């Protein structure tokens, strides 16, 4: 980074530190903060999408949809998250590769499952072995994102279903009295009013989502926890910048990051709650 | 719209250029001097140099992938990468799940490391080791209480903060740590366990195994492997 960094063994103090914290490895650490923020920013809407679909399905008039919705909400909420985080990306990955294998290599007769091995033809690999590392990383990130969306979607779905049930029935009946269709009632009366009931549950979920991001490393994505552990660990003279075990400092940085993130989120959520409570016949809405 | 989406999906499934042979090398990146992530964020160490040389000789295009030690075998068999080159000793237990090439690093002793001056009961005390290593199963069989950690780093930290009386790991990993501890840590005994270190390859991937075996043989024959061993492990290291 700086000219004087050419031989780190000769410099010390602040100069050494300034070289140390600007190594390419540290840059990957700083970049991974962006990855975590991106994951939260993308996972939240995806989870809301899954959740909304699940909630609507579980309230559907048709038995098939209702079973599907209830099944989704109950199954994901009942199984430990970590199982799903490990299962969904691997299952999806193998499912995609299996499909591609059937499509692309119909003439390969060797079985895909050979003992412990999962073997698809090299053209069916996803991403291809020849693809650049960043393609592999984006693919891994997308799978992780989907896993977060599915898991958190189930929780959001339950919150939304509860919020829909909390809207006073008299209001919906009034809608019917005015001759609105079910669809119109849903859009004009139920949907705008459910959010205030959903907000406490959703804000909880948002906080849990923020705190769940270290699970990323389980899925092979080098997130901030991975880099903090990797950078903070004891470094012998095999490294350019040897140092003792500094993990406590790195994890302190993570703590500050997560606490600021949750603090800012809480402030914003408080403001939204205040706005949505306006004019509602609730304790919060009286003001 | 639906048709567009569908054809895009089909295209995504079918697309793909012709293959040049690319081999993805899986490593842990946390076990110096075997393999570690250097300050440039790249995989470095003895195995990086050996791996690159083997690929050159076998005429393969190699890409390095970092994976947690815990899941390094499952991710090999499910095809996320094609080899494990991570200081993995050849054992009968692992050989049931994956195949190994011939060893590219000869057997070398494992070391118990404890705080200096502490008297450690190696057969009855609390000994730390990394999960799924030959050292962990050795400690479990020795009668000592085994505490396992996911990374080598944590096993060393456990000894420093008193959680474990000693750690058992490859001497090549612990010796530099002992040497640079200013006398705070000490060698509390050595044992010889395990065979040499080999490259892990899927059992269904005999062609790659043959290529790597041939390249290792040629590196052994012209002495270049011994040169690399001496470079990374010192002049006293066992060679071929």
A residues 15..74 contacting B (CB < 8 A): 23-25, 27-28
Q: So what's the pLDDT on residue B6?
A: 54
Q: So what's the pLDDT on residue A12?
A: 81
Q: Are residues B85 and B127 in the same domain?
A: no
CA A274 to chain centre: 27
The more confident residue out of B199 and B41 is B199
Q: Are residues B126 and B179 in the same domain?
A: yes
Q: Kindly indicate the confidence band of residue A154, based on its pLDDT and cuts at 50, 70 and 90.
A: very high
| Domains observed in chain A | 3-286 (1.10.3720.10)
Residue A80 has pLDDT above 60, yes or no: yes
Kindly determine whether residue A234 and residue B41, on different chains, have CB atoms separated by under 8 Å.
no
Q: Are residues B23 and B103 in the same domain?
A: yes
| Chain A with chain B: Cβ pairs closer than 8 A | 111
Q: Are residues B53 and B165 in the same domain?
A: no
Q: So what's the pLDDT on residue A83?
A: 84
In a domain, B7, yes or no: no
CB contact A174 to B (< 8 Å) = no
Residue B15 has pLDDT above 60, yes or no: no
Average pLDDT (B57-81) is: 90
Q: Are residues B148 and B215 in the same domain?
A: no
Q: So what's the pLDDT on residue B8?
A: 52
Q: Are residues B23 and B97 in the same domain?
A: yes
pTM as predicted: 0.81
Kindly determine whether residue A28 and residue B41, on different chains, have CB atoms separated by under 8 Å.
yes
Closest A-chain CA to B66:
A220
Q: Which domain holds residue B161?
A: 110-191
Q: Are residues B114 and B185 in the same domain?
A: yes
Q: Are residues B223 and B121 in the same domain?
A: no
In a domain, B179, yes or no: yes
CB contact A118 to B (< 8 Å) = yes
Q: Are residues B163 and B203 in the same domain?
A: no
Q: Are residues B121 and B179 in the same domain?
A: yes
Give contacts of A236 with chain B, Cβ < 8 Å.
Answer: 32, 176-177, 180
A114/chain B closest Cα distance in angstroms? 7
Residue B19 has pLDDT above 70, yes or no: no
Number of domains in chain B: 2
Residue B203 has pLDDT above 70, yes or no: yes
The CATH code of the domain that includes B61 is 3.40.190.10
Residue A283 has pLDDT above 80, yes or no: no
Residue A118 has pLDDT above 90, yes or no: no
Q: So what's the pLDDT on residue B7?
A: 55
B residues 174..193 contacting A (CB < 8 A): 176-177, 180
In a domain, B225, yes or no: yes
Average pLDDT (B30-47) is: 92
Residue A81 has pLDDT above 90, yes or no: no
B190/chain A closest Cα distance in angstroms? 21
B13/chain A closest Cα distance in angstroms? 5
In a domain, B223, yes or no: yes
The more confident residue out of A129 and A196 is A196
Give contacts of B79 with chain A, Cβ < 8 Å.
Answer: 97, 117-120, 125
Q: So what's the pLDDT on residue B3?
A: 57
């Amino acid at each position: 980074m700086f000219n004087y960094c050419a031989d780190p063994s000769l410099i010390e103090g602040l100069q050494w530190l300034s070289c140390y914290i600007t190594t390419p490895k540290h840059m990957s650490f700083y970049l991974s903060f962006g990855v975590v923020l991106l994951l939260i920013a993308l996972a939240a809407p995806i989870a809301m999408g899954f959740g909304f679909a699940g909630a609507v399905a579980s309230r559907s008039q048709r038995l098939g949809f209702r079973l599907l919705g209830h099944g989704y909400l109950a199954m994901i909420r009942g199984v430990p998250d970590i199982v799903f985080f490990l299962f969904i990306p691997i299952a999806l990955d193998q499912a995609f590769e299996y499909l591609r294998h059937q499509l692309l290599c119909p003439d390969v007769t060797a079985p895909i499952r050979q003992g412990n091995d999962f073997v698809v033809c090299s053209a069916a690999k996803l991403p291809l072995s020849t693809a650049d590392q960043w393609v592999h990383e984006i693919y891994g990130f997308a799978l992780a994102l989907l896993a977060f969306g599915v898991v958190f979607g189930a929780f959001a779905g339950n919150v939304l279903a509860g919020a829909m049930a909390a809207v006073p029935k008299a209001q919906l009946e009034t809608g019917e009295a005015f001759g609105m269709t079910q669809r119109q009632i849903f859009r004009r009366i139920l949907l705008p009013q459910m959010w205030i009931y959903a907000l406490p549950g959703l804000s909880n979920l948002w906080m849990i989502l923020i705190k769940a991001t270290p699970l990323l490393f389980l899925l092979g994505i080098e997130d901030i926890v991975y880099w903090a552990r990797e950078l903070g660990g004891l470094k012998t003279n095999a490294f350019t910048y040897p140092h003792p075990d500094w993990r406590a400092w790195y994890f302190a940085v993570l703590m500050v990051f997560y606490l600021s993130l949750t603090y800012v989120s809480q402030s914003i959520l408080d403001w939204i709650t205040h706005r949505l409570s306006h004019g509602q016949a609730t304790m919060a809405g009286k003001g | 719209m639906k048709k567009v989406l569908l054809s895009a999906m089909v295209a995504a499934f079918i697309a793909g250029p012709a293959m040049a042979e690319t081999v993805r090398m899986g490593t842990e990146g946390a076990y110096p001097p075997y393999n570690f992530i250097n300050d440039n964020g790249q995989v470095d160490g003895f195995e990086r140099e050996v791996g690159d040389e083997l690929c050159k000789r076998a005429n393969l295009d190699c890409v390095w992938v970092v994976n947690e030690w815990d899941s390094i075998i499952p991710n090999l068999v499910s095809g996320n990468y094609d080899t494990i080159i991570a200081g993995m000793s050849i054992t009968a237990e692992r050989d049931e799940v994956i195949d190994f090439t011939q060893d590219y690093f000869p057997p070398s002793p494992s070391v118990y490391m404890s705080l200096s001056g502490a008297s450690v009961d190696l057969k009855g005390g609390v000994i730390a080791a990394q999960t799924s290593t030959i050292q962990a199963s050795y400690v479990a069989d020795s009668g000592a209480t085994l505490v396992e950690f996911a990374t080598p780093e944590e096993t060393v930290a456990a000894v420093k903060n008193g959680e474990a009386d000693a750690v058992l790991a490859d001497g090549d990993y612990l010796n530099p740590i002992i040497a640079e501890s200013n006398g705070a840590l000490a060698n509390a005994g050595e044992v010889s366990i395990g065979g040499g270190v080999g490259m892990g390859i899927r059992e269904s991937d005999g062609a790659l195994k043959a290529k790597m075996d041939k390249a290792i043989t040629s590196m052994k024959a012209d002495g270049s492997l011994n040169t690399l061993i001496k470079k990374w492990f010192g002049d006293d290291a066992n060679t071929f």
